[in-house]
């Protein structure tokens, strides 16, 4: 990387960080190198980005239907991986999965990792003993969008999905640092050799770009449900729909069930809800 590119990334990073919401800025400022870039106008910026009308897609995951059925979790993950050409990165030395450099769109993690601010000493054994599905939250006030210097990640105004343009991504990884949910992955090498079953209907990525869940916007455009929803549609474990439409299925379920979100204190306004 030459000096001009380094200078651009440094300046762009500081400028982008100035627009993040204060709670997320606090998350970032725990890293000494970023502490001096804490914003002053974060609350105003977050409020402005959250004021969107029209359709706002969201997801509800009823984890009660997954308890005791780890195969359902794997089924959801496999469906997403297959549709989106997500590589299975393997450590060249051991031949086993490379957890450090893996690419994840939707994955499973313990409750304490998914909801660190809601974990208790005496948690229910049912909750504590099961893995939870996590993915990009498609926030209404996304920190990742604010820090991207090339606008490679952006909010679709027609539905609120946080989308990606892989051709504009320069691999600076500011979005990864800004996301408090760890929902983004970076391609340290060409991912294509690690794709076991290629789907010609979805583009592959290249070395040096970031990727994440897109709520299957390409499937929504065809009138289909996201792959994860379709994978367990018989159980109704995952509900997807318009959060701004009171008549939608997801709004009706949210109205009658007690739900939680991942780390709402960051002020990002996640669009993914959980029943635990």
pLDDT in tens, 85-123: 999 998 877 877 888 889 999 999 999 999 998 866 667
Residue 82's pLDDT band (boundaries 50, 70, 90)? very high
Max Cα–Cα distance, the chain, nearest Å: 56
Q: In the 8-state DSSP scheme, what is residue 13?
A: H
CA-to-CA distance for 92 and 78, rounded, in angstroms? 22
The length of the chain in residues reads 276
Residue 166's pLDDT band (boundaries 50, 70, 90)? very high
Residue 125's pLDDT band (boundaries 50, 70, 90)? confident
For domain 53-275, give the fold: Alpha-Beta Plaits (3.30.70)
Average pLDDT value over all residues in the chain: 85
Share of the chain above pLDDT 90, in %: 70
Domains of the chain, residue spans: 53-275
CA 206 to chain centre: 19
Task: Please check whether residue 37 is in contact with residue 15, taking contact to mean a CB–CB distance below 8 angstroms.
Answer: no
Closest C-alpha among 11, 33, 5, 4 to residue 171: 5
Residue 249's pLDDT band (boundaries 50, 70, 90)? very high
Which run of H or of E encompasses 201? none
pLDDT tens profile 212-245: 999 999 999 999 999 999 999 999 999 999 999 9
Q: What pTM does this model have?
A: 0.81
Would you put residue 112 in left (φ > 0), alpha (ψ -120 to 50) or beta? alpha
129/178: higher pLDDT: 178
For residue 259, pLDDT beyond 60:
yes
CA-to-CA distance for 53 and 243, rounded, in angstroms? 11
pLDDT tens profile 139-164: 999 999 999 999 999 999 999 999 99
For residue 13, pLDDT beyond 80:
no
For residue 41, pLDDT beyond 70:
no
Q: How many CB atoms lie within 10 A of CB 203?
A: 12
Q: What pLDDT score does 120 carry? A: 64
Q: Is the dihedral of CA 129, 176, 27, 276 positive or negative?
A: negative
65/122: higher pLDDT: 65
* Beta carbons within 8 Å of 184's beta carbon, 6+ residues apart: 136, 144, 175, 176, 210, 211, 212
Mean pLDDT within 60-79? 96
Mean pLDDT within 196-223? 96
């Amino acid at each position: 990387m030459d000096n001009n590119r380094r200078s651009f990334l440094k300046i762009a990073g500081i400028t982008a960080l100035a627009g993040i919401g204060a709670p997320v800025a606090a998350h970032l400022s725990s890293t000494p190198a970023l502490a001096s870039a804490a914003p002053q106008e974060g609350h105003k910026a977050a409020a402005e980005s959250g004021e969107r009308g029209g359709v706002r897609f969201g997801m509800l995951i009823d984890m009660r239907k997954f308890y005791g059925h780890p195969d359902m979790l794997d089924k959801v993950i496999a469906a997403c991986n297959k549709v989106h050409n997500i590589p299975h990165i393997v450590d060249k030395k051991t031949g086993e999965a490379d957890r450090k450099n893996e690419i994840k769109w939707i994955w499973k993690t313990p409750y304490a990792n998914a909801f660190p601010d809601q974990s208790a000493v005496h948690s229910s054994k049912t909750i504590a003993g099961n893995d939870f599905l996590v993915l990009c939250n498609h926030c209404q006030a996304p920190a990742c969008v604010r820090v991207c210097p090339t606008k490679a990640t952006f909010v679709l105004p027609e539905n609120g999905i946080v989308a990606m343009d892989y051709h504009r991504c320069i691999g600076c990884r500011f979005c990864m640092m800004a996301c408090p949910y760890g929902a983004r992955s970076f391609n340290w090498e060409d991912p294509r050799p690690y794709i076991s079953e290629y789907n010609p209907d979805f583009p592959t990525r290249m070395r040096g770009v970031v990727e994440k869940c897109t709520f299957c916007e390409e499937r929504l455009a065809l009138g289909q449900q996201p792959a994860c929803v379709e994978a367990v549609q018989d159980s109704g474990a995952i509900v997807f729909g318009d959060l701004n439409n009171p008549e939608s299925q997801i709004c009706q379920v949210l109205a009658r069930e007690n739900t939680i979100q991942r780390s709402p204190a960051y002020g990002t306004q996640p669009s993914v809800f959980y029943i635990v």
